[in-house]
Amino acid sequence: MASSSSSPGGRPARSLAPRPGAVAVASLIPGLPDDLAAVILCLLTFPDQSRLRATSRAWRLLLSAPTLLLLRRRLRLPSRHLLCLFPDDPSLASPILLDPTAPTAWWPLPPIPCSPHLYSLANFSALAVGSHLYVLGGSHFDARSYPLGYPSASAAAYRLDLALSPHRWERLPNMHIPRGSFACASSPAGGVIVAGGGSRHPTLPSYGSRINNTEWYDAATNTWHIVTPMLRERAGCVGFVARGGGDGDGREDELWVMGGYDGYTTVGGVVPNDLYCRDAVALGLWSGRWREIGDMWVEGERIRLGPMATISADDGRVTQVFMLDGHNIFRYHFVSNRWLKEATLRRKIPNTELCGFVSLNGELNVIRSANVPIKISHPRRLLKKGRALEFQVYNPVSRKWRVFITHAPVSESFDCRSAALCTVEL
């Protein structure tokens, strides 16, 4: 940053000079050099920075994302990773951000603006590319359709730029193919790539569609492009981009698609039951060709792929892939195409309870609802239970666990069947 030497008017010169023609503004923090004040504001949590932008014109200028990101790079501060939680239908319940440096610092984002005739959006994909937060597809109900009991897949796409204030969702062009429960990942070119999916019935999951279509969003041109479809239909799958993970000397970037279901059978000839995929497939992002990885587990190991999280290197290359299976965390071994046991949860979780699983700052976070006592000052009132989230955090490098509980600003319990998680890097 620039030096904080005094200006001719006797006031310390700020590193962040006002724009040409703008009226001079006061110091950031009276009594402190502006360079030191800028560092203090830069180290605040993201929710605090968002709230403090309205304090003054100087603070709004400093805490704007372009200036703040540039300042963090000058100070050589690490990228800030935030957890974004969609507790329910994002058109009704506001998504919320958590800064892991302050587990009590939650910041609500605006709900997605959508048609009032559409409701109960689920099975959508949420991911972040830089400061942009995307919500894509999903399954929802349309009050104007018949029958009302069957969901329809959505092709809608929304984007929110966390670098801008105030935050507003932007409606993007629709995907070519409506889809929910699909694989989704950020492409190396800065866009988004999606594969597979379909529609999903909340009570009878096997009643629904499955597709093999693949397309990618080009953020530069704001358009969707159809690419080579998968080798077969697949829904309920997960995906990630492996940098340089392809075959051959070129080692091209690939979109990996794992797990999911591609058909169904019946139990006793009456009750439908999904047929889950044991294999993985990969799409070369340069060649446009799919290759089969093969089965990732043998008969009797497990039925389906559990929640998955990836850890990337500084260049964005996925280096480690983990899966949560019951009480255990497994690590994927790329060479042998097998899942190897990595760790056991610090606190056991009932098999009937679904958990969130996401990587944050190189650590794995297992998230579940937790009822914790709330202290009440009145002696005659009974002790109540409050809505809270329990985080079991595992560090793959040190192989150590830590546990903390935070009160999230949500009115209902955290239900992974309708909730979604993603990590935002600023």
Q: Do residues 146 and 220 touch, judged by C-beta distance below 8 A?
A: no
Which amino acid is it at 138?
G
Contact 316, 300 (CB under 8 A): no
Per-residue confidence (pLDDT) for residue 382, from 0 to 100: 45
Residues 6+ apart with CB under 8 A from 214: 193, 194, 195, 196, 226, 227, 228, 229, 230, 255, 283
The pLDDT averaged over each successive group of 10 residues in the chain (426 residues) is 40 39 61 86 80 83 76 77 86 84 78 84 90 91 75 91 82 95 89 90 66 94 95 92 67 90 73 83 93 89 90 80 93 94 90 84 89 53 62 94 85 75 85
- Model pLDDT, residue 11: 37
For residue 18, the model assigns a pLDDT of 39
pLDDT of residue 19: 44
How high is the pLDDT of residue 7? Answer: 39
Q: What pLDDT does 74 receive? A: 81
Which domains, ranges and CATH numbers included, belong to the chain? Answer: 1-77 (no CATH), 118-305 (2.120.10.80)
DSSP letter for each residue of 72-102: HHHTTPPPPEEEEEE-S-TTTS--EEE-TTS
Backbone phi, psi, residue 145, to 5°: -95, 165
- With contact defined as beta carbons under 8 Å apart, do 359 and 423 qualify? yes
Contact indicator for 149, 186 with CB cutoff of 8 Å = no
The dihedral through the CA atoms of 63, 64, 66, 69 has a sign that is: positive
